[in-house]
């Protein structure tokens, strides 16, 4: 069983919508997915309550209880992937979650403020010896130079997912309806971006024991 944790110390990165849509894309790709929300804001858990489609288990879990919840899921034996939404800050409780991650994904908006805000998270992940990667999220298609500058800065710090995700209303609408973008608009640009990102993540997780 592999554990993908989305983490960042800066709010507004689009972490929760991305976690929701990745969970759906992974499920559609044949994974048995549980999504765990450890963020006090509980955006992912709220999305799960609005969700009407079957096949995806969404649970709210306190960070202090995360290891126990993960062990129960592991012992059940049917789950191949756990996707975790973490609080938008770093502390001992968040470290409890990230220690269990097979891969930590850091969504970063293409701005110097967001790139700089990602550095403390990277330092903590290195101390925890966790594998991590950045993904440029909420990119503006009309400001490609800014996106390229952010990509250059992030590549110098760690691995950057080659699939970038743009700012699209589909992500907001999918959170409202309890869907992933690949369900809401299966042929839309947002759906294409999420599927490409999931395939890259799956390749990174390929060497992790299930």
Please state the domain extents for the chain. 2-204
pLDDT in tens, 47-76: 999 999 889 999 999 999 999 999 999 998
Is 2-204 assigned to CATH 3.40.50.300?
yes
- Dist CA 125 CA 104 (whole Å): 8
pLDDT in tens, 14-51: 899 999 999 999 999 999 999 999 999 999 999 999 99
Q: Give me the DSSP letters along 116-137.
A: HHHHHHHHHHHHTT--EEEEE-
Q: What is the mean pLDDT of the chain?
A: 91
Hey, how many other C-beta atoms are within 10 angstroms of the C-beta on 116? 12
- pTM for the structure as a whole: 0.93
Q: How far is CA 112 from CA 12, 126, 137, 169, in A?
A: 14, 21, 14, 24
- Dist CA 38 CA 154 (whole Å): 26
Cβ–Cβ < 8 Å for 170, 190: yes
Rounded percentage of the chain residues whose pLDDT exceeds 70:
98
The pLDDT score that the predictor gives to residue 207 is 53
The pLDDT score that the predictor gives to residue 208 is 54
pLDDT in tens, 82-120: 999 998 877 788 899 999 999 999 999 888 888 888 888
CA nearest to 114, candidates 161, 85, 147: 147
Q: Answer whether residue 141 shows pLDDT above 80.
A: no
Strand boundaries in the chain, DSSP class E: 2-6, 33-37, 57-60, 81-85, 103-108, 132-136
Backbone dihedral angles phi then psi of residue 190, each to the nearest 5 degrees: -60, -40
Q: Answer whether residue 177 shows pLDDT above 60.
A: yes
């Amino acid at each position: 069983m592999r554990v993908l944790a989305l983490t960042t110390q800066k709010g507004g990165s689009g972490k929760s919508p991305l976690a929701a849509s990745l969970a759906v894309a992974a499920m559609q790709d044949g994974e048995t997915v549980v999504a765990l929300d450890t963020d006090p804001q509980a955006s992912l858990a709220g999305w799960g309550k609005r969700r009407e489609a079957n096949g995806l288990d969404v649970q709210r879990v306190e960070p202090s209880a995360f290891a126990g919840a993960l062990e129960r899921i592991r012992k059940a034996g049917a789950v191949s992937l756990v996707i975790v939404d973490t609080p938008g800050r770093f502390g001992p409780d968040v470290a409890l979650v990230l220690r269990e991650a097979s891969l930590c994904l850091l969504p970063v908006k293409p701005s110097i403020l967001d790139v700089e805000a990602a550095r403390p998270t990277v330092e903590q992940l290195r101390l925890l010896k966790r594998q991590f990667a950045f993904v440029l999220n909420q990119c503006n298609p009309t400001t490609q130079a800014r996106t390229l500058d952010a990509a250059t800065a992030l590549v110098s710090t760690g691995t950057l997912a080659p699939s970038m995700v743009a700012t699209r209303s589909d992500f907001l609408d999918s959170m409202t309806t309890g869907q992933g973008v690949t369900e809401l608009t299966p042929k839309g640009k947002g759906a294409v971006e999420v599927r490409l990102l999931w395939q890259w993540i799956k390749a990174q997780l390929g060497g992790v024991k299930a």
